[in-house]
Structure 1
Amino acid sequence: MFKIGKLWREYRCKLWNEFYDPLMSRSDLIKNVPAGLNMEQWAVFVDYRLRPSTMNMCNRNRDIRKRQVIPHTGGAMSLSRRRNNLKIETGKNIGRAEMWKITHKRKNGIYVNEEALEIGEKIDELMLTNPKGGSNISPEDPIGVIFGKEHPSRVRGLSYGACLSLAFKGSTTRLSGMNHASSSSTSSNVEDKITQMENELATVKNQMNTLLAYIASRKDVPEHFAAIAANLVHASTNEASDYGSGAPSPNQVIGSSAGSKTD
């Protein structure tokens, strides 16, 4: 589908370049319809090409193409087909680095210009230090080292439709493993913090129960305050059946309070 879209865009550009004349008016351009095309569709296409936004986009793209100082010699054959043919001929995998060198050389084996020659020499140096880097496709291969981070929607040296998750599948798996290990470590840290908080909360709860029990047992505390303290102790300890921490039970608090009031 990417290839079809590219061919369709190239055909439209070729059609416009052949039939467009800046000295002709809109009506004359529409009358100059190419053979085999519907005039209504041609009129829509002419209006689209004469639109100011379209003309600005074409001028911007033309300037971008002028700044591309390293042309390639790949021709019409896609990189995937060329790579597959080379794999059949040589019997080995062809990486991005080797493909870049092939598609930037002329038939006589000379690079297209000095800029391509400099990059080719850098690729050769990196391939000498890491021979496997020339056949592997990864962010750490010579192309990734020289040109840097890839665009999210395309990968250098690969055909149409290539994306990072598929092109660098092995690297993505390693990164996923690292993220899983990191997430497991993070999960363990969170569990430790939760356990620590629960222990601290239980300690504070026991201290509060002891304080409330002391308030409820005091003779100089008003009766309704003592009853409130006893009820709070009963509510906070209702879920536990015993008190290993040393905090008094509600019965002990109430009994102690009642004994103090009657004495």
Structure 2
Amino acid sequence: MYIETHKKKDGSFVTDEARDIAKQIEVLIAQNEKNESGPSTNDAIGKVFEEEHSGRVRCMRLGATPTNTFRNINHPSQLMMLRTKLLHRQQEEHHQTEALKIVKTLFNIALKID
């Protein structure tokens, strides 16, 4: 995101400093063996810019905070909550599928009566 937002329409960087920072980010991304796709305090942006101001998260939307961006979903209670949400959504989908089958059947019956 940083790289794209610091380029002009012609593809050149807005400043020499922006170009240098983008090169550092690209090098770190290329060296990253984990291939992380999500935000992290230790990702390429975090390494290049170092620590962000307290309560802020660089390159994220307005309102992003370290707590809601980097929350630990590996905690057992978080995992249980996510599993429960997934189970409820799967059950809802199953009920909707069954209801749709009933509606189709009733529609077909109504067509045969007329």
Q: 1:167 aligns with which of 69, 89, 100?
A: 69
1:158 Cα deviation from its structure 2 partner: 0.8
Classify the secondary structure of the residue corresponding to 1:152.
coil
Structure 1's unaligned 5+ residue stretches are 1-98, 178-263
Report matched runs for 1:138-177 at 5 Å: 138-170=40-72, 173=73
Structure 2's unaligned 5+ residue stretches are 77-114
The alignment of Structure 1 onto Structure 2 pairs a total of residues equal to 75
Report matched runs for 1:115-194 at 5 Å: 115-130=17-32, 132-133=35-36, 135-170=37-72, 173=73
The aligned residue for residue 2 of structure 2 is: 100
TM-score normalised per structure 1:
0.27
Which structure has the larger Rg?
1
Report matched runs for 1:230-245 at 5 Å: none
Report matched runs for 1:10-89 at 5 Å: none
- C-alpha RMSD over aligned residues: 2.0
1:152 Cα deviation from its structure 2 partner: 2.2
The aligned residue for residue 112 of structure 1 is: 14
Identify, as 1 or 2, the structure richer in helix. 1
Classify the secondary structure of the residue corresponding to 2:3.
helix
Deviations 1:80-101 (A, max 9, x none): xxxxxxxxxxxxxxxxxxx111
Amino-acid identity (%): 36
TM-score normalised per structure 2:
0.58
1:130 Cα deviation from its structure 2 partner: 1.1
Classify the secondary structure of the residue corresponding to 2:10.
coil
